[in-house]
Amino acid sequence: MRFDEVIDRKGTYCTQWDYIEDRFGEGTKDLTPFSISDTDFRCPDEILNAILERTKHGIFGYSRWNHEDYKGSIKSWYNRRYKTEIESEWVVYAPSVIYTISILVDKLVGKGGKVMTHTPKYDGFTKILKPYEVFEIELKEKVKGSYETDFLKIEEGFKAGVKLFLLCNPENPVGKVWTYDELKKLIKLCKKYSVILISDDIHMDIARKEVTPVLKIDSENCIVVSSASKTFNTPALGGSYALIPQKKLREEFITHLKEVDSVSSPTIFGVLSTMVAYNSCEYWVNELNEYLTKNCEYVVSELDGYYGIDVAIPEGTYLMWIDLKNCEIDMAEFKKALIEVGKVAIMSGEAYGDSNRIRLNVGCPLSKVKIGVEGIKRAIEKLKK
């Protein structure tokens, strides 16, 4: 199977493999990493062939994104895969999803404004929300591997002046996929209190249950930010997109992109890879999801219940949110043991809001997942002896 292939990424200026010490400290460069949320899979041949063909042309001048070939590929993807109708004019290019969120939040609420989001949350959200008053709603694990929000607290925050809700669907790191009914209830509250909902859907294609883009429900109060890069492992090619139905806000964003930050000329490989991925590579995504589910199943079979570990297959993403609170171990010592005994670099849950967890990236060949699992076992055994 294509996803079993082990490809050496060292020496390619790869964040996950070549710069481990940036996150885990001096002397950790030889660890096996399971940290950054990209994958160790080669992207589809169709994308590689398109890049090679374009490279042969040999001229890489300024490029454009504002054409129907690009916007139409995104529109078609949402129509085919999610039965969601979007308008071509809603589509805008941006250098990255986090860039887009940062600009939109500033324009919608201004520095010091009130923003709501969930916790545990993607650490990128934490960084860009520092200039704002943040209302955090805890995602509670009611049933193992299944998380719920608190709509009463959400409404309390809206009454207190929150004007923007930042959602992640599926959620990073907990892997929750928001149901149609949950989103409908949230959007109803947003409309009642004139709150804009920005949904970061970059993990949307990696899911084990049906994903509903918020724009399938409402285009008045909702915005989607996303990219093909997470699914097809092309972040280094550059680029993302947003679906902004609100004309005035969309025009303000495009003006900022062009005239303030001067980043409106996209990388041609980012544009090409998005078009090819969305037009020709849906079969690859289906195979990817099957493979990732088996990786998740392996981790659960090996670790769930091991010295008190709790882990379940996430509803979405290739990130496993592993709970160690019942292991009765010192988490600082465990993090140290992961490095010194386990020989693995795995993200601490502290970065996302829960110091009793770790986030394991299983977007890799099963042979590498096994290294990660054995490293976790050795680290726990060291502390339990």
Per the confidence metrics, is the pTM higher than 0.75? yes
Outline which parts of the chain fall under CATH 3.90.1150.10: 2-44+283-384
Outline which parts of the chain fall under CATH 3.40.640.10: 62-280
Q: How far, in Å, CA of 165 to CA of 162, rounded?
A: 8
Residue 384 confidence (pLDDT) above 90: no
H or E segment and range at residue 28: none
Burial, 164: exposed, middle or buried (Cβ in 10 Å; 0-12, 13-18, 19+)? buried
| Four-way CATH pick for 62-280: 3.40.640.10, 3.40.50.300, 3.40.309.10, 3.50.50.60 | 3.40.640.10
Burial, 385: exposed, middle or buried (Cβ in 10 Å; 0-12, 13-18, 19+)? exposed
The predicted model gives 373-377 an average pLDDT of 98
The predicted model gives 327-343 an average pLDDT of 97
| Banded pLDDT at 160 (limits 50, 70, 90) | very high
Position 385 scores a pLDDT of: 76
Which residue carries 């994903």 as its tokens? 211
Contact predicate 167/179, CB 8 Å: no
Amino acid at 35: S
Q: How far, in Å, CA of 245 to CA of 172, rounded?
A: 25
Position 88 scores a pLDDT of: 97
The predicted model gives 363-384 an average pLDDT of 97
CA pseudo-torsion sign 361, 365, 369, 375? negative
**What percent of the chain is predicted at pLDDT more than 90?**
99
Q: How far, in Å, CA of 28 to CA of 16, rounded?
A: 12
The predicted model gives 107-119 an average pLDDT of 97
Residue 206 confidence (pLDDT) above 70: yes
3-state secondary structure of 143: strand
| Banded pLDDT at 33 (limits 50, 70, 90) | very high
Cβ neighbours around 206 below 10 Å, total: 24
**Residues composing the chain:** 385
Position 98 scores a pLDDT of: 97
H or E segment and range at residue 199: strand 196-200
The predicted model gives 30-53 an average pLDDT of 97
For 82-96, the pLDDT digits (tens) are 999 999 999 999 999
Cβ neighbours around 97 below 10 Å, total: 21
Residue 184 confidence (pLDDT) above 80: yes
Residue 22 confidence (pLDDT) above 80: yes
Query: By 3-state DSSP, what share of the chain in percent is helix, strand and coil, each rounded to 5?
Result: 50, 15, 35
Average pLDDT for the chain: 97
Position 1 scores a pLDDT of: 64
| Four-way CATH pick for 2-44+283-384: 3.60.15.10, 3.90.1150.10, 3.10.20.90, 1.10.10.10 | 3.90.1150.10
Q: How far, in Å, CA of 108 to CA of 99, rounded?
A: 14
The predicted model gives 197-205 an average pLDDT of 98
Residue 299 confidence (pLDDT) above 70: yes
